[in-house]
Amino acid sequence: MKAIWSVVILFEDAQTREKAVKFCDQLVQRFWTHCEFRLTWMEFSALDDPNAARDAHAKAHAADVIVFATRPEGPVPAAVTNWVERSLANRTDREGTLAGLIDTSTILTG
């Protein structure tokens, strides 16, 4: 029987979601012989909704992997920062993996 990995993916917008899709595709390709995956997708803006944030907290608490896909410029929205702080604090001693995907395609070089 295969292990089941729970993966929560938080993304900023459509472009960063696409980066996260590619990352998750690679994750599945690499480990599909050993694991099944349960993916939960959540856009940053959804965390402004208390019900969606509560659902995301519950899924993150049990997640084996939490992925953040964001752009490098600008601050992270306050709702996302608060969500991260509360979610990680609630994990207590539960182990897991945290992955950060920074979309650098928008950076202008001189």
pTM, two decimal places:
0.83
- CATH, range 3-106: 3.40.50.2000
The residues facing 43 across adjacent strands are 11
Interval 11-57: pLDDT, tens: 999 989 999 999 999 999 999 899 999 999 999 999 889 898 889 88
Q: What DSSP character marks residue 79? A: H
Q: What integer pLDDT is reported at residue 106 of this predicted model?
A: 55
Question: What whole-number distance in Å separates Cα of residue 43 and Cα of residue 10?
Answer: 6
Task: Check if the beta carbon of residue 39 is closer than 8 Å to that of residue 63.
Answer: no
- The domain ranges of the chain are 3-106
How many residues make up the chain in this entry? 110
